[in-house]
Amino acid sequence: MDAAAVVEAAGAHKRPEDAKHVGYGTAGFRTKADILDHVLMRVGVLAALRSRCKGGAAIGLMVTASHNPEPDNGAKLVDPMGEMLEASWEAYATRLANCKDDELVGEINTIISECGIDMQTKAKVVLGRDTRGSGLKLCQAARDGCTALGAEVVDLGIVTTPQVHYVVRCLNDATYGTPTVAGYQEKLAAAFKAIWTLAGRTDLISLKLDCANGVGAVQMKELLKHLDSMLKVEMYNDGSGQLNHECGADYVKVQQHAPANMTAGAGDRCVTFDGDADRVLYFFTRDGTFFMLDGDRISSLAAQFIQQCATAAALDLNIGVVQTAYANGNSTKFLQTKAGVPVACTKTGVKHLHHKALDYDVGVYFEANGHGTVVFSDAALKKINEHESGSEEGKRAIAMLRAMTELINQTVGDAISDMLMVEAILLLQNMTVEDWAAMYDDLPNRQLKVKIADRSVVKTTNAERECTAPAGLQSAIDELVKKFTSARSFVRPSGTEDVVRVYAEAETREQADTLAWAVAGKVWDLAGGIGDRPHAP
């Protein structure tokens, strides 16, 4: 290691004496952009170390704060196969980001020693950023960290987070595709065109798309150059306004209405991305009522379709869906009883979902917020690509599956790829969004927060669905749930603030609300609530 180069980089990106502590979690680093300069330089250092640790494989570094407000920014690292950074390295990221400038070289040497990194190995880092004004300066800080450790930097410029994941995967696995943004566009377009041909469609698919004033608009415009004979997309919040302000997937999910500058009229098929285009949701209105098609719905649509194709082709595939405790109970029931697909539950967080999905030949996972994808094992891909069916129906089913494996970005949740997947399935099944919504009815649910003195007193198990501490809280929840029909409730500590999150669902809106407030009261009583005891408004 060139210690002098590291010292020089640290001098150019000094950590303030009163710097706020930052932690690397599932979303990477994420906070106010104006305090991230020294953090991004050190993330660049870590990316170079990670690349060498993985034998010189390309590592991704995306500068984004996703659905956060525009003044925020952040960074996340991407591992060689396009997956999220290995959890054990999150502690290294946090240590590097928070150490004093004169401790930086020592911390780097500790990581080198603990991980057995050969510093003679070449390193490569793929750099990308979203449309935030702070991104260019922070990318330069990251680049300085990379070059201080002698890493080659591939700068993609303004791209979606999933495109960085894609390019990293391609650089390390040539069979996955061409390692450029153009290669990404061409792969998705070719797959969608194949599905269009299978469906025999002639008229345009019309969509209204909310791009959250983010990078999704930039990249969709490029993709539509390949698909303008198939898709007619009216784009709203396409960069002319403030990023994620009263628009985007998170806003629409929480507010349960169309974003600013966009209306959802009768017959409109509406889609919304988040700021870095790794989440997607659908919505429409009927008789003035707003209908949301969230991640649970996308997961159900995809899993049922893949299962039906496998059955039609007489193809033996172990297909499963991975959910969190927040998945609507009726989506789980639909998958298990009507779609005939097993469902597993994991802790909240995409990394947990993705890891569990790898247990299946075909693993489908989406969080309710619209972040998710479908992963195919190597064995499943081999079966799909080599299988021959004797019937015309089977041959068509295999052709559809093959096209889907190319259309889906298997590395990570991808708003653009997932939107095309949904459109492909609706097209092949001759379904409308209203048909999709009619697959099952969501159970009414309510989510609340309870302020407590110390969130660490609340412990959970069974994928966060059961509470093991404080004593008596789970039994109190169980007794409350018994009073309502088709009801369930769970509580879990927040990962970022001293609050406990409460989830409740039941057969009616009134029952769900009543249950949620009653559980919130028990949390306040038994877990050290502060402020006023929660009560229904």
The C-alpha atoms of residue 264 and residue 53 are separated, in whole angstroms, by 49
The C-alpha atoms of residue 10 and residue 142 are separated, in whole angstroms, by 11
- Alpha-carbon distances of 231 from 38, 419, 471, rounded to whole Å: 43, 12, 56
Say whether 527 counts as a known binding-site residue: no
- Pair 55, 123: CB distance under 8 Å: no
For residue 475, give both structure tokens. 């039994």
Residue 66 falls in the annotated catalytic set: yes
Q: Which amino acid is at 239?
A: G
Say whether 367 counts as a known binding-site residue: yes
The C-alpha atoms of residue 333 and residue 347 are separated, in whole angstroms, by 19
The C-alpha atoms of residue 279 and residue 214 are separated, in whole angstroms, by 12
- Alpha-carbon distances of 310 from 288, 444, 450, 480, rounded to whole Å: 38, 33, 45, 42
Name the nearest CA neighbour of 353 among 373, 336, 378, 331.
373
* Residue tagged active-site, from 51, 66, 299, 417: 66
- Pair 31, 38: CB distance under 8 Å: no
The C-alpha atoms of residue 106 and residue 240 are separated, in whole angstroms, by 46
Strand 488-493 with 499-505, pairing: antiparallel
Say whether 494 counts as a known binding-site residue: yes
* Residue found under tokens 């909240």: 348
Name the nearest CA neighbour of 349 among 464, 498, 490, 503.
464
Q: Number of C-alpha atoms within 13 angstroms, CB side, residue 108? A: 30
Name the nearest CA neighbour of 307 among 365, 363, 356, 382.
363
The C-alpha atoms of residue 537 and residue 510 are separated, in whole angstroms, by 13
Say whether 2 counts as a known binding-site residue: no
The C-alpha atoms of residue 136 and residue 155 are separated, in whole angstroms, by 11
Say whether 42 counts as a known binding-site residue: no
DSSP per-residue codes, 425-466: HHHHHT--HHHHHTT-PPPPEEEEEEEBS-GGG-EEETTTTE
Q: Which amino acid is at 342?
A: P
Residue 318: φ, ψ to 5°: -85, 100
Say whether 299 counts as a known binding-site residue: no
Residue 34 is classified by DSSP as G
Q: Which amino acid is at 15?
A: R
Name the nearest CA neighbour of 200 among 394, 390, 418, 399.
399
Q: Which amino acid is at 289?
A: T
Say whether 229 counts as a known binding-site residue: no
Say whether 369 counts as a known binding-site residue: yes
Say whether 495 counts as a known binding-site residue: yes
For the chain, the distance separating the N- and C-terminal CA atoms, rounded to the nearest angstrom, is 61
Report CA 425 to chain centroid distance, whole Å. 21
3-state secondary structure of 245: coil
3-state secondary structure of 367: coil
> Mind telling me the catalytic residues?
66
The binding site comprises: 66, 274, 276, 278, 367-369, 492-496, 501
The binding site for substrate comprises: 367-369, 492-496, 501
The binding site for Mg(2+) comprises: 66, 274, 276, 278
